Amino acid sequence: MRRIFIHGTLPPELKASVAAIGVFDGVHRGHQRVIARAVAEALRLKVPSVVVTFDPHPCAILRPLKAWPYIMTLEHRLRLIEALGVDVCVVLRFNRRFSSWLPKTFVTKFLHGWLHTRAVIIGRDFHFGRARAGTVDFLCAMGKTLGFAVEQIDILRATGKDIKSTAIKALITAGDLAGVRRCLHRPFSFLGAIEAGDARGRTLGYPTANFREENVVNLPAGIYLVRASWAGCAHNGLCYIGRRPTFKGKDAPIVRELHVLDYHGQLYGREICVEFLKKLRDDKVFADKETLIAQIARDITQARRFFASRGHRDCCI
């Protein structure tokens, strides 16, 4: 998949396209349906399929006083979009200047003038342009004038509720891994880079890899059973999410620490995708180092039993 990052001036234009437009944070089942429809239509018309997404999230610019964590990092989003068979992903840098574009400007300058889109695929709640004034009806009218079709995809539902990014964030913060999986059609996962930590895990006898801090929604603090993937290989492991209260106190920043079972290699600098399969236990404060080590040993034993029962083995593609 070709990636195009637009921070101001448009690069050389595309000759034709079918475009799916949205933030697509989470790439949930509804997003997948929108993107799949764009890919199918592009194949029918024999033109490139294009996903247009935004970074940062428009709400992060338009409502700067409100914290706006994501379901996943931009890199994670792009990898999942690529896996859906998309030819080109355009990442529009959303800022105050871009937010001031009138709906007509966005359509004539970008969709028609640069993408030369033959069809636009959008979700049912799509709005665009200054003050979200661009409606689906307006886009359809512009499409008739400029020669492109517009197709809306209905919002999907799971367990009686609309599948939306805001709802998925609530499920994540509640620790409802089953509910998140129903909305995503895959396990909840996190893609991040490993950076140097304080090596405390190694002194405890169970080395961990520390993920770089990212502006994403966190699961509740605790120990999770996970599958960790990098370089075409998948490994069983445990992931800790929390503030390390035994050593750091309740006001310390939240960290993510990965322990890969039976792995002794170097992970610094790697980007690792972690799929969260099950919560093993809550986080808690331990009286001393020895008590913590004993608990970690029990956690490792339970993890091995879980993966053995499920048939999860380390594998490489």
Active site residues: 257
Query: How far apart are alpha carbons 72 and 69 in whole angstroms?
Result: 9
The answer to whether residues 207 and 228 touch, using CB atoms and an 8 Å cutoff, is no
Which of 270, 267, 251 has its CA nearest to residue 259? Answer: 267
- Residue 268's region, left for phi above 0, alpha for psi from -120 to 50, else beta, is beta
Query: How far apart are alpha carbons 251 and 232 in whole angstroms?
Result: 37
Query: How far apart are alpha carbons 254 and 275 in whole angstroms?
Result: 18
Q: In the 8-state DSSP scheme, what is residue 267?
A: -
- Beta-carbon contacts of residue 59 (< 8 Å; ≥ 6 apart): 66, 68
Place of tokens 């990898």: 79
Q: Tell me how far the alpha carbon of residue 235 is from its chain's centroid.
A: 21
Query: How far apart are alpha carbons 41 and 99 in whole angstroms?
Result: 29
The answer to whether residues 194 and 270 touch, using CB atoms and an 8 Å cutoff, is yes
Strand partners, 271: 193
